[in-house]
Amino acid sequence: VDNQKEETMTTQNDFLKDTFGLAGKRALITGSSQGIGYALAVGLARAGASVVLNGRDEAKVAKAKAELSALCPEAEVHALCFDVTDHEAVRTAVDDFELSTGAIDILVNNAGMQHRSPLEEFPADRFEALLQTNVASVFHVGQAVARFMIGRGRGKIINICSVQSALARPGIAPYTATKGAVANLTKGMATDWAQHGLQCNAIAPGYFDTPLNAALVADPDFTAWLEKRTPAHRWGKVEELVGACVFLSSGASSFVNGHVLYVDGGISVSL
């Protein structure tokens, strides 16, 4: 009986590794020195991928790298600092990394920012910063990495959008515009690049407790509203985004293209 159990476990483990395993794959996650990006990097590393951490602040990225390496000692972890809004820096960093270290098989376009203000007072420079950080970066980093992926005839791109891709909330109209654009850019990437063997999909998170949401987390009225409004009646935990990311990074999603996968406790489908 024990032998039989062991055999079943081995079969199950083999199935999971074959279907969702990322051994031998390398993933670049933009904006992964904290928050959602860091959690996704840990999850991808646990699924067997080598990970490339990114952010603008070298010390923060180095700290994240040390922490991730301690959590997953068997994982290969790289640091690649660049500002996703600096198009030349993006192109140079990706080119140098691909040529010196090796292929980026999975790209997670996660770096993003938020700014809250009534729309009639919204500063023009914050609007421009949101466009550059949340949307133009997906195009520039996506294009820089996709050129290599296309050459290899395979690759996975996962763009992080938001429930705000489909729904508006007061005070963040420009953010809503950027996240809607990321969802549609994902569909365009999928449409253009499927013929080259790439899959491009998006994850739309609901509300998660990260530094980006510090002001909301500190506001008990917001949490009360969120707990009432979300069918799951709670904030999301960043680890709860990992399953979607591993699925979209793995062979399990080989025929999924241009999809926006909501991970939001049901908030986007309920009134």
CB-CB contact of 249 with 49 (8 Å): yes
CB-CB contact of 197 with 239 (8 Å): no
Q: Going residue by residue from 45 to 64, which x/- string records binding to ligand NDP, judged by CB under 6 A?
A: ---------xxxx--x----
Q: How far is the CB of 124 from ligand NDP (least distance, A)?
A: 18
Q: Using the minimum distance from each CB to ligand NDP, give the nearer residue, 35 or 265.
A: 35
Select from 40, 31, 90 the least CA-distant residue to 61.
31
Q: How far is the CB of 126 from ligand NDP (least distance, A)?
A: 13
* Beta-carbon count within 10 A of 221 CB: 8
CB-CB contact of 59 with 66 (8 Å): no
- Residue among 22, 50, 162, 250 that touches ligand NDP (CB under 6 A): 162
Establish if 142 lies at the interface with ligand NDP (CB under 6 A): no
Establish if 85 lies at the interface with ligand NDP (CB under 6 A): yes
- Residues linked to residue 262 through DSSP beta bridges, in sequence order: 204
Taking CB under 6 A as the binding criterion, the range among 28-36, 98-106, 148-156, 243-251 that sits at the site for ligand NDP is 28-36
Q: Using the minimum distance from each CB to ligand NDP, give the nearer residue, 57 or 96.
A: 57
Query: Annotated catalytic, 207?
Result: no
Select from 29, 113, 105 the least CA-distant residue to 64.
29
CA 84 to chain CA centroid, Å, is 14
Cα–Cα distance measured from residue 169 to residue 190, given in angstroms and rounded to the nearest whole number? 28
Cα–Cα distance measured from residue 106 to residue 50, given in angstroms and rounded to the nearest whole number? 10
Taking CB under 6 A as the binding criterion, the range among 9-17, 79-87, 115-123, 145-153 that sits at the site for ligand NDP is 79-87
- Residue among 33, 186, 230, 268 that touches ligand NDP (CB under 6 A): 33
Q: Could you give the count of Cα atoms lying within 13 Å of 82 in the half-sphere of its Cβ?
A: 22
Establish if 111 lies at the interface with ligand NDP (CB under 6 A): yes
Establish if 174 lies at the interface with ligand NDP (CB under 6 A): no
- Residue among 31, 48, 174, 180 that touches ligand NDP (CB under 6 A): 31
Alpha carbon distances (Å) from 166 to 102, 176, 185, 259: 37, 8, 14, 14
Q: Using the minimum distance from each CB to ligand NDP, give the nearer residue, 21 or 210.
A: 210
Number of residues that bind ligand NDP (CB under 6 A): 29
Residues near ligand NDP (CB under 6 A): 30-31, 33-37, 54-57, 60, 83-85, 110-113, 133, 160, 162, 205, 207-208, 210-213
